[in-house]
Amino acid sequence: MQSKSFFVTGGNSGIGLATALVFARAGADIAIFARRAEHNEKARALIEAEGRRCLTFSGEVSDETAIRDAVAATMRSFGGLHYGFNNAGTNHPAVPITELSVADCDRQMDVNVKGTFLGMKYMIPAIKASGGGAICNNASTGGIAPTACQALYAAAKAAVIGMTKVAALECAKDGVRVNVVCPGATTGEMFHRFAEANPERAAMAVSKHPLGRIGDKEEVASAVLFLCRDATFTTGHAFVVDGGRLLN
């Protein structure tokens, strides 16, 4: 992976940062796009400690100009773009659909759906121009087998899976593979926030994983690396990393 570059949204914490570090250790230069600018310098230091170059950008993934400009700056600085991970996401309160608000709906669609759409819209041409490569999107097992009180989150993550499959069909002829990783409960920040607000539902979520624990964010990161670098005959696949949760 020497002389390759990797662009990740939501990349300065949680699963995004874990994945950036896995790619850096594999030899890639890293571009991080994240909402919370205050975490960028720490993330940059961790990447540079692995001996790789790191660019950081701050903004909302639903901001088309910010995503477009960040991808363009990555191309200029690294001379190309080879791998992308549309990782940024958000959830909503664990309540019945009748108690969710229009604002909840807008946030799910803006971050999870529009953010993934914009990432692919600008990463795909960049990767194509760089000679080909791969994109991985981040969905959830909730987009395959939803649970109660997660209506909008399930809808948004199902949309990400659907977009991934369509993009894979459209991009195959151009040497760009597009897959999606579907984690179960994982040690990223989103699950920790959910567990703090809903300890009983979090315990129930953990109990649904036959391996008896939630996943480590590094385990999801390894799956993303596999899909991007190693699974060279795989595209349009929803890769489940869930400790067997969907078997229940």
Catalytic choice (6, 78, 83, 153): 153
Alpha carbons 217 and 120: distance in angstroms, whole number: 23
Q: Which domain holds residue 54?
A: 5-241
Sheet containing strand 29-34, strands side by side = 54-58, 29-34, 5-9, 83-86, 133-138, 176-183, 238-241
- 76 inside domain: yes
**Burial letters for 21-55: b for 16+ Cβ neighbours within 10 Å, e otherwise?**
bbbbebebbbbbbbbeeebbeebbebbeebebebb
Report whether pLDDT(185) > 90.
no
pLDDT of residue 209: 84
Count of structural domains within the chain: 1
- 246 inside domain: no
CATH number of the domain within which 224 lies: 3.40.50.720
This prediction's pTM? 0.93
Pairing of the two strands 176-183 and 238-241: parallel
Alpha carbons 167 and 36: distance in angstroms, whole number: 28
- Residue 153 bears catalytic tag: yes
- 248 inside domain: no
Q: What is the pLDDT of residues 71-94, one digit of tens each?
A: 999 999 999 999 999 999 999 998
Q: What is the pLDDT of residues 91-108, one digit of tens each?
A: 999 899 999 999 999 999
- 174 inside domain: yes
Q: What is the pLDDT of residues 197-238, one digit of tens each?
A: 778 877 877 788 899 888 999 999 999 999 999 999 999 999
pLDDT of residue 135: 98
Q: What is the pLDDT of residues 21-61, one digit of tens each?
A: 999 999 999 999 999 999 999 999 999 999 999 999 999 99
- 224 inside domain: yes
- Both tokens of 50, joined, read 């692995």
- At 22, is the secondary structure helix, strand, or coil? helix
- 247 inside domain: no
